Structure formats: structure tokens, C-alpha cells
Amino acid sequence: MNVATDLEGTLTTGRTWKGVGQWLKANGHTIPYQLFFLPRVPGSLIARVGLIDNVEFGNRWIIDEVRLFKGFDQARIDAMSEWVVDQVMWPLRRADTLAEVQRLRDEGHRTILTSGTYTPIAQAFARRAGLSDAIGTPLLFSAGKANGKIGGALNNKTVKAERLRQLLDAETLDMAYGDTAADIPMLMMSRTAIAVHPDPELRATAHKNGWRILE
């Protein structure tokens, strides 16, 4: 059986943008991060009160923040990713949802983490949780150094569903966990969909389709 799960909001309430920011400030990149962060504060406040789409604002942040990694080699990216998971994502994990996914893993099922976060962070969390696979938003490298861009589109919405479909290679998706409307394309793929602390749009879709809701 194949089981897929989102990360942020589903397996953890930790956020990539916060973890990466904390790592940058703790590792000698305070000024570049502040120059990136401060102009985005007004937009963050507007998104928080719902005047602009909060998910889309967060996605744009993830795409733009990768510029701060320009020049980092793979070892530095990996070290940052492990730190973000250890210090931010794992301490804020949703223990009940994670335990359910790990129980499915222990029963011998393939467990796939798929997230809009950067691939190295998705992989680091998957390793920590003992999950089978991880799909994230890839970073581009040139001559062994990050070039400040993502590889292709953010792993979100229909892109997330398509990349998962490619990984499954004609196999069925039996179960899927997600927390926002952005996860609906993935959840629609699965035989059994579970909405985890869903946003209003996903909650309405879950009720309409008879999906299980975890609170």
C-alpha cells in the first residue's frame, strides 16, 4: 500500500521560512536575511488577516528565500536542512498524525512525504521520521554551488500530485494526508483521503466527499 503525506501543517506546525531564517541568523547571515525579511513584513501582516492568500504568500516566500542560499555547497545546504528539522520542524511535530503514518510504515506500507518545502528539508524530515521517500521543491546547483533558484515549479497543488504520480509509476495511491486546499489534487488521487486540521476550503471538500477529518 502507498501512503502519501504533506509536511507543513500535516506532520508539523513548524514552518520552513521561520526555520531557515533562524538558521541564517545563527550562521552569519543576519544582514542579508534582514534585508530580505523586512520588506516582506507588511505583506505577511496582510496575509495573516486574510486580505491576500496566506498560502500563496508563503509559497512566494519559499521561492524568493532560496536566493539567500546562493553559493552554498551541498554539505552546507544539508547541514542547514538537518538543523531546521531538528530545531523547528521536529519539536513542533503533530505527534498523533505522525504516529499514524509511522504505524502504517511499520505495517510494511510505503510512506511518501511530499511537500512544497525544499527537497533537502523534506528528505531530512523523512529520515528523522523513518519514512520511505521524500519529494520536495528541488534546488538548482551550478559547479557544485546553489545558484539561488529552484528547479522547476514549487512542489504544490497539481505539481505535487503530478510528481507523486510519477514516483508511483502507475501504482495506486491508497491513502493521503493533507491540511490545506493546496493538497486537494493529491487527496483526490487517493482511495482514502484524510484532512488534518484542514483549512476552510479543504474542510468543505472533505465533508462533501466523506473524507475523514483529524482535529
Phi/psi at 9 (nearest 5 deg)? 90, -20
Taking CA atoms, 77 is separated from 47, 73, 81, 91, 117, in Å, by: 29, 6, 6, 20, 13
Q: Is the model's pLDDT at 109 over the cut of 80?
A: yes
Q: Is the model's pLDDT at 52 over the cut of 80?
A: no
Phi/psi at 140 (nearest 5 deg)? -90, 140
Can you give the residue range of the structural domain that contains 203?
2-214
- As given in the structure block, the three cell numbers for residue 21 are 531564517
User: Distance between CA atoms of 113 and 124, rounded to whole angstroms?
Assistant: 11
User: Distance between CA atoms of 194 and 211, rounded to whole angstroms?
Assistant: 6
Using left for φ > 0, alpha for ψ between -120 and 50, and beta otherwise, residue 12 falls in: beta
Q: What's the average model confidence in pLDDT over 115-133?
A: 98
Domain count, the chain: 1
Residue at 133: amino acid letter: D
CATH code for the domain of 92: 3.40.50.1000
Query: Average pLDDT, whole number, for the chain?
Result: 95
Per mean pLDDT, which range of 38-42, 55-59, 92-96 is the poorest? 55-59
